[in-house]
Structure 1
Amino acid sequence: MAYLLFKTIISAVIIVAVSEVSKRSSLLGAILASLPLVSYLGIIWLYIDTESKTQVAQLSRDVFWMVIPSLSFFIVLPVLLKTELNFYLSLAISTAIMVAVYFTMIFILQRFGVNI
């Protein structure tokens, strides 16, 4: 239980740090947010929990492939916001597009024999 609480606190601290740093500097906030901290922590937690290098390698490979579709969110959101569309609607549309791109990426990878 203490370990789960520790993981939760560390994760929350990172999210708050990104939010607070972004208030002062969008560039520094973007740099912090773009670091693969979630992946890094997830890899560490997975290894501590399983001690499986195979599972860590698989997660790392899968994260690589899934970063590509996640970029669609960061392309679409600012475009929608510049059109004066409501923030929450822009967020929802960007998320829906990102999810569609995820499924498309998985489909394409499977067609090329890459199993995710």
Structure 2
Amino acid sequence: MWSFVAKALLAGVMIAAIAEVGRRLPAMAALIASLPLVSILGMIFLWHARPDAENMAVHAQSTFWFVLPSLPMFLLIPMMLRQGFSFWVALAVGCVLTLVLYLAMVQFGPRIGIRF
């Protein structure tokens, strides 16, 4: 239980730090947010819980494939904001697009040889 709480607190601190930096330096906050810190920490915690090389390899490779469907969101949201859409509408549309692309990845990825 304490391990879960520690992980949750660490994630919260990372998000709060990005938000604070972003108030003054949006590009720097974007750089920090784009770092694969969550993925790295997740791999460390997963390795600690189950030190299995093949399991870790599958996890890391799957993470790569699941990052790809999220990338268009980061182009769509600024485009919509610059066209006058509200932040919440742009965010919602970006999230829906990402969900659709995730579902497409899960559906069609194995058909083209991608293993999760």
TM range (shorter): over 0.9
Q: Which has the higher contact order (CA 8 A, sep 6+)?
A: 2
The residue number in structure 2 matching 1:33 is: 33
The residue number in structure 1 matching 2:3 is: 3
The residue number in structure 2 matching 1:110 is: 110
String of CA shifts for 1:46-81, please: whole Å, max 9, x gaps: 111112222211110001111111101101111111
Unaligned runs of at least 5 residues, structure 2 = none
Unaligned runs of at least 5 residues, structure 1 = none
What amino acid sits opposite 1:26 in the alignment?
P
- Asked if the contact 1:72–1:101 (Cα under 8 Å) also holds between the matched residues in 2, the reply is no
Q: Distance in 2 between matches of 1:96 and 1:8?
A: 25
**SS in structure 2 opposite 1:48?**
helix
Q: Distance in 1 between matches of 2:40 and 2:62?
A: 13
Percent identity at matched positions?
A: 32
The CA RMSD measured in Å over matched residues stands at 1.2
The residue number in structure 1 matching 2:93 is: 93
TM-score by length of 2: 0.92
Q: Distance in 2 between matches of 1:70 and 1:58?
A: 19
The residue number in structure 2 matching 1:77 is: 77
**SS in structure 2 opposite 1:14?**
helix
What stretches of structure 1 move > 4 A for 4+ residues in a row? none
The residue number in structure 2 matching 1:67 is: 67
CA positional deviation for 1:105: 2.4
What amino acid sits opposite 1:62 in the alignment?
S
**SS in structure 2 opposite 1:85?**
coil
